[in-house]
Each structure stands twice: as C-alpha cells, then as structure tokens.
Structure 1
C-alpha cells in the first residue's frame, strides 16, 4: 500500500508523466498517457516490488550510504579534504582556524580518532583573521592544486608555517571558505574550535574544548546509548 501510494503521488506530481510531455518540445513524439495507462504502470511497478522486495531494500541502503558519504545535512562538500575511513558510521565536520591554539589541539584529537578508524573527519577551514585566512588559503590551495592538504595540516597543527601558497588553488580556497562561513552561520557556530558530530542523520555540535572522550560521548548520545 505504501509503495503504491508513493508511486501514485510521484506520477501526480510530475507534469511530464501526467501530461505525457517530458521534454517540453512540441515536436516530441512521446505518446500521451491516459489515466488508465498511468494506473497500469503503477500496478506493474507495485507488483515488481512485491515480487522483488530486495530492490527497495537495496535502494534504501544506497540512500543511507550516500547520506553518510556526504556527511549528512549538506555539511561535507565533495571537494572538502577528509581523513579517516570513508565508510565510517560517524562523520565529524571540523571547523578550524589554524591560527587558534585550541583549534590546533582539537585538530590533533580528531586526527587521532580518524587514524584509529572511529570517525571520518571533514575539514572545514573557518579563519577569523587576515593571517589565518592566508594559512587556510595555503592549505586549501595545496589540497586542490596538489592533493597535499594533509602535509600542510600536519605542519599547521604543530604551529609551523606551511610552504608557499599554491596560486592555482587560491580561487578554490576562497570559494570553499565562503561556503564554510555560510554553513557555520547556519549551525549557529560562534566559538572555535567547533565540530558537528553526525551519526545516522542526527547531529550534535561541540564547541570550545574538544576531547576524544567528548566526541565519544556525543556519538553515544546520538546513538541513543545515554
């Protein structure tokens, strides 16, 4: 019943299917679908799902995996640098300013958890000063231009200056930082370091001091484990 209702709603909401158009082209040779035609198609699809329920299960699993891979809630752009296993059940979106000492300490904590396989970390650079903007542009430029973000990050977390910026990657870096500022504002992030811990589509924001135990506690809460 649920599958049938879903399919009927999909047909009703689609002008292309409802009206028999599809390409908005008067010369199109597509036939017009009558109400009976649409009902027959829905019946056929419902029967296929009943006979092969694994199709629906597989589609749902793929949807959940895709949701996990994009960090959930649109916080992990495809071009953002990451560390840790791509299939991890927990994603932590890190908002970092490399000129901020507590941010560097938090970054080392998250890198350790990622290295242990507990989490996947998505690195979002959120510089708050002119100097840190230059550091972030350097690191992100290296990521885009030569895939060397991890090298720059290691140096910056240790308080060492990274090599010269990659000029070719600077436009990418500035655009990435603009997206990060927008996402941080949407989440209400006002204090750094900050991290969004995401598990199964649920999220908890950590701000201020970030510890390994604090991240693990957030993961348990998100999993309903107290």
Structure 2
C-alpha cells in the first residue's frame, strides 16, 4: 500500500485540528477557511512541507511524527487560547523574551486538572500504538519518496524564509488588534508575520542613546501605548534590551 494517500490528507487534518484548538470550535475554523482562503492555503502549504519532509521515512514512523507535530502545535494553540482568555491577546513572539509574562501564562495551567494533562499524553501514546499495530509495515522504501521529501522541505523553507505573506497570499498584519490578526491569518501566519515585523533590522537613524532618554519620559511611553495596544508588550521587550 502506498503512502501517497497520506500526502494531502494528513496536513489537512493537522491544520483543521490545531486551528480548532486555537479558535475553540470546529465551526469557527471552517468559517475561517471559507472567508480567508488565501491564509488557509498558505498555512496548509507550510504544514504540507513540514510533515512531508519526513515522507521518505517508513510509513509508521512518518505517521508517528505527524502525530507528534499535531500534538506540539495543539499545545501551542492551547497556550495561545489560554493567554487570549486571560489577557485579551494570543501568544506573541515577544512573549518568548518576557520570562515573567511566560510564567504568568503557565500559572493559569495550574488549575487544569492533572487528569486532563495525563489524558493528552495517553491519547498521544495511544495514537502511536494504533499506528504501529494497525498500519501495515512497508516491505521496502520507494526511491520516489526522496524527491517528494526534498521538494516538501524546499517548499517549507521557501515559504518561511523567502516568501512575503502580504505580497504572495495577500495577507495583512493587523497591528491594532492581535486577536483580529490571528482570527484572520490563523495561528501560524499571524505568529510568523509578527516575528518578522519584530525582528526587522533597526533603521540607519536608530540611536540607542536617544531611546534611553525615553525611559525618563513615561508620559510619552503612555501616549504610544494608548495609540496602539500592541505597544504595551513590545515596549517591555525593546526597552529591557536598551537598559542592558
């Protein structure tokens, strides 16, 4: 039996499941796929490249890796949704640089029953066991798998490193509301565009000494934060780096 049937189905299943976790319902995920097809297709293409980069591996191992990827993305989506409910905004790239912020998010999971967390682990293990038990083992590895895996990896690398989501897929970064940004673009693209905007090189006119003076002008900082709620969390990261 060929693995080709898994090429398109597995990434689609992973996309729908983890976006459902992020949005809180399957209906919202299906509405997103209809209203924002470009973002849906772009996310699917990235997942296709990520998962099928392992296509050259034996079928059981390939499917097990897909389950692990689904579990990891679902956990990130769960953290993002928990932060949205707790703070009014999803998980953002600069949260990773704020240890205190990450600790506050993690504390919200302390109220989650241990049985629920154990249930997630048990489901992951059970899925892998079922794959090993019921999916037939391949008698040989087809040479046709290698170019598919390589092309999948190149697709993923090109989309992540060299493709502008705004120009290619007509995506837009919604700076004024990160909740709207993720609702429109999805978790992966929303997070990725935020990261690229956050990690842009400083302009030639950037002067660290001038920015240090902002620390002595709290009224100006407060005014900037009022203009854009997103500045509230970004200023913490930028100014903490300036103090060093």
TM-score, L = length of structure 2: 0.23
TM-score, L = length of structure 1: 0.24
Bigger fraction of residues in helix:
2
Bigger fraction of residues in strand:
1
Max radius of gyration: which structure? 1
